[in-house]
Chains A and B, each alone.
Chain A
Amino acid sequence: GDSVTQMEGPVTLSEEAFLTINCTYTATGYPSLFWYVQYPGEGLQLLLKATKADDKGSNKGFEATYRKETTSFHLEKGSVQVSDSAVYFCALSEGKSSGDKLTFGTGTRLAVRP
C-alpha cells in the first residue's frame, strides 16, 4: 500500500537558518503530494502541493519539488523564522480531487530559536 516516510524530529534551528525536511513516498500510481503544517493549538493547514512529476509547490517561502526518480518531496526554506515553529506533515493522495483520501507521514516538529 501507499506510505510516506519523513525525517524524525524534532528539528531545532536558529532564526534565518536553512531548512530541509526530507520526505519520500511509496505509491502504486502517480500520486499528488502535499505538505501540511500544524501550528500549536490549530488544525492542519495545507502549505503547498504538487500534482505531477517535476512540479514545484511553493508558499510562504517554502518550496518542494516532486521528484519521481527519487520518489521524494523534500521541504525547503531558505531562511526560517520563529513563527515557522510547528509540526510539518508530508502526505500523498492517489487521486487529484479533494474527495480522495490522504496518507500521512509521521510529522516533523520544527523549533526555531530567536
Chain B
Amino acid sequence: GAVVSQHPSRVICKSGTSVKIECRSLDFQATTMFWYRQFPKQSLMLMATSNEGSKATYEQGVEKDKFLINHASLTLSTLTVTSAHPEDSSFYICSAGSASTDTQYFGPGTRLTVL
C-alpha cells in the first residue's frame, strides 16, 4: 500500500527556536497534503491543506506566520513551527491524498516537545 513518512519522529527544542517537520509520500504523488495536530486523548485537528505549487489554506484560528507550510514537490511537504513555545508541544500528523485510490494516507506523526 501507499506509504507516507514523517521526519523526525520526535523532536525536543528550546523555546524560541524553529523546527521543521517533513512529510513524504514514498511511492505515489500527492497533489494535496494535509497537516493535523493531535492533543492527548483528543481528535485530530486539521491545521492546513497544502497543494503542490501554491500557498497552503489554513483553518480558522491557525496562525499561518507561525506554522509555515511548503509543498515544493508532489512528494514532499514541510511544516515549520517558528519561534516555538511550550504550548506548541503536540503530536503533528500529515496525510497525503492519492488521486488514483481516492484515499488519504497518513504519516506516523511527529512528537514535538518545546522546553
The reply to whether A96 and B102 form a contact with Cβ atoms under 8 Å apart is yes
8 contacts between A and B (CB under 8 A): A36-B106, A42-B108, A43-B108, A46-B103, A89-B44, A99-B31, A105-B43, A106-B41
Q: How large is the interface on A (under 10, 10 to 19, 20 to 34, 35 or more residues)?
A: 20 to 34
Known contacts A42-B108, A43-B108; decide if A101 and B43 are in contact (CB<8 Å).
no
CA distance A107 to B3 in the complex (A): 22
Interface residues of B (CB under 8 A from A): 4, 6, 31-32, 34, 41-44, 46, 49, 93, 95, 97-99, 101-109
Chain B residues contacting A61 (CB-CB under 8 Å) are: none
- The interface bits of chain A over 92-114 (1 if a CB of B lies within 8 angstroms of the residue's CB, else 0) are 00001111011111110000000
The reply to whether A97 and B106 form a contact with Cβ atoms under 8 Å apart is no
Q: From B3, which residue of chain A is reached at the shortest CB distance? A: A43
- The interface bits of chain A over 30-46 (1 if a CB of B lies within 8 angstroms of the residue's CB, else 0) are 00000010000111111
Known contacts A89-B43, A106-B43; decide if A101 and B103 are in contact (CB<8 Å).
no
The reply to whether B93 and A43 form a contact with Cβ atoms under 8 Å apart is yes
The reply to whether A102 and B46 form a contact with Cβ atoms under 8 Å apart is yes
CA distance A45 to B54 in the complex (A): 27
- Minimum Cβ distance to chain A for residue B102 (Å): 5
The reply to whether B93 and A44 form a contact with Cβ atoms under 8 Å apart is yes
The reply to whether A43 and B109 form a contact with Cβ atoms under 8 Å apart is yes
Chain A residues contacting B103 (CB-CB under 8 Å) are: 46, 49, 98
CA distance A96 to B32 in the complex (A): 14
CA distance A45 to B103 in the complex (A): 10
